[in-house]
Structure 1
Amino acid sequence: MAQGLIEVERKFVTGPETEERLQELGGTLEHRVTFRDIYYDTPELNLMRTDYWLRHRENSGWELKIPGMAGVSGPHNVYLELTAEPEIVAQLYKVLGAEVLGAEDVAAVLGPLGLQEVASYVTNRSVWKLVLSRADQEELPLRVDLDTADFGYAVGEVEALVHKEAEVPAALEKINKLSSMLGVLAQESAPSKLIVYLQRFRPQDYQRLLEVYGSREARGD
């Protein structure tokens, strides 16, 4: 079974007042960082169309997001994040129905599996941490990423990482509470940078995803 952290996250539209509001709530600016993400898929988007998202992040390495716990509806996403390359390669063989090649590093299997670059962009990110309950000394902080991509799209994300599916509902409750405190409407959602990139620069690929997800927005980054 694939091992990894479960990411529970919710994207939202940011504004000039978002950082000020985070400060008012006691948030701490951890750091600012700039990086390039490159996403890979087959020409038919066989990964993205089945909700698998393969990314190489500059100075961080490879990550594969795979579908997490189902059955909790709302404007959020739950993904299992794999970062160990042998586990990523094993999942790629499985989801693409490919013959096992024996290699355990992602770069070595890109060509044989027909994977190619489908998106590449630079993000300027500010990373915030915030604890909702100061009285709870063991409460893990929520992470808030405020991103601006080099093609002009800005989006925020409230995120919690948990180890077990049983922890997802509690994490989601905290995420929704903080989102509300930031002024995000109950059912408000925002497309990911990747989806907006495809919509603007690879409209045929964007249409491929629309055929699968319809009005249920794909949000894999």
Structure 2
Amino acid sequence: MELKKCFLYKAIPTTNTGEPFFGWIGGCPPACFDKEDTSLMGYLFYMTFILPNKQRQISIFLPEDWEIYLNKDRYPDCAIKVIEHDVSLEGITIELQNPVIIKHNIILYKECCDTETESEPFLVKLGGKPRLVQNKKFYYDQLEKDGYSFYMQIDEDGYPLDGLLKGNYPFCYGALYLYAKQNNSIVENIIAGYWQST
């Protein structure tokens, strides 16, 4: 099931208080990851996002070794971890911080039809169709055959112009595409489908 309505989110400095936020990029992962987890060995925290209407949250972790996720860039072998969990505040596990990303909060800034998003910059797009960096079917063909559909996109075109990165773009100025099993309002098994670079 494809959401016809889209929700667009952007990143703002954490010093901008007062606006409700739906997660954060950079910083420490949520507190639920403060307990030791060997499955995250060799991974760094990228971002976390509170899912609408679910009272749940997803956190995304990237392999510390860029070559790993460069070579495993798509389903069914995508090396990027997407973990769903209860809503949680930021934790204290600095060992999982990504040193190139300065923490920013994620806020909702626009609700619109999919057709209105074609040239609009965003950090996160939830719903609608993916805005592909490379329109090549081999990225999503197997996902669709296995019953997955596009859920959300994290796009580096929507990074703030200054203050977020102090190093290279994790996706080479590209985008990460998350897919899920969706049936009406039920969204399950959210995964990293693939990422693309420019």
TM class by shorter-chain length? Answer: under 0.3
**TM-score, structure 2 normalization:** 0.27
Structure of higher CA gyration radius? 1
Q: Which has the higher helix share?
A: 1
Q: Which has the higher strand share?
A: 2
**TM-score, structure 1 normalization:** 0.25
